[in-house]
Amino acid sequence: RYLGSGCTMTDLHLYFHLGISALSKIVKQVTQEIWRTTKSVCLAQPDAKKWKCIAEDFYSAANYPNCVGAMDGRHVRVIQPTHTGSMYYNYKHYFSVVLLAMCNSNYLFTFVDIGAYGKESDSTVFKNSALYDAIKNNTLKLPTAKPISEYFNTHLPYVIVADEAFALSGHAMHPYPKKSSTTRKKVYNYCHSRARRFIESSFGLLSNKWRIFHRPMNVGLSLAEDIIKACCILHNFVRRRESYKFEETLHVTGFEGLNVDNESRGTATAINVRDNFADYFDSTEGALEWQYHVI
């Protein structure tokens, strides 16, 4: 009731006739237990075989080869944590913690990282996350690079698509700058956007199902993080058991995107990877029938 309706502890106090401190303990125990007992089932880390299946599904849904996920971050409103100064005060002028998430083409989260300071950008959050460490240390178990088609035989790594707030890297692609004027770059950005829309819709489904995100969380920081974790687990649990409705994604209520920093150009290797994807999307083999009419 608390997570789904977005009611306050005071509302629960009046309804159940329990003290607010007792209710807070109950919510904390339940959310922690949800995370502890179901994370290995509802948010298990894929192995190489599963990543390949996710990439095949992404290709079927968005025509983006070798893509294992769409990633983005969102601010979750909280009251000012004690003794933290402005660490959680974000560029939108309110206090927040950051939810960094990656999803597959079925709108299921495959990774979440919760608790980064609200003042940080997407790129900083990503570099300080367990996901970044897993990619860097090769513990994410991503498959090895392979050609993206039978005729386009350049070996390209499996990648995650993100927006321009994330630094370009060998396994994280972001679009070309919006001022790019070439057709090839515009085509890539269009194809990139088609793949990245899945994380936008996943956040929409999350916030519309769990209305606790529609208002600032008037609880301590530790409990707020437990609530976010539980909601992400329950999102996956429910998504596997009910049909997808597009209307639920039209408004992402309660979330704000993260700010863009100025250190997102990327390495020469990463730029070369993106250029190869751009070449594929602008080729006869990789082009969508309608893409040149919509860019």
Report if pTM > 0.85. Answer: yes
Map out the domains of the chain as residue ranges.
Answer: 2-294
| pLDDT tens, residue by residue, 100-120 | 999 999 999 999 999 888 888
Query: If you write DSSP's letter for every residue of 10-58 in order, what string do you get?
Result: HHHHHHH---HHHHHHHHHHHHHHHHHHHHHHHSPPP-HHHHHHHHHHH
pLDDT tens for the chain, 295 residues long, are 889 888 878 888 888 888 888 989 999 999 999 999 999 999 999 999 999 999 999 999 999 999 999 999 999 999 988 888 889 898 888 999 999 999 999 999 999 999 888 888 777 888 888 888 888 888 889 999 999 988 888 899 999 999 988 889 889 999 999 887 799 999 999 999 999 999 999 999 999 999 999 999 989 999 999 999 999 999 999 998 875 554 444 455 566 666 655 545 678 999 999 999 999 999 988 889 898 888 7
Return the residue matching tokens 């933290």.
84
Whether 172 and 126 have beta carbons less than 8 Å apart is answered as yes
| pLDDT tens, residue by residue, 162-206 | 998 888 988 999 999 988 779 999 999 999 999 999 999 999 999
Whether 205 and 101 have beta carbons less than 8 Å apart is answered as no
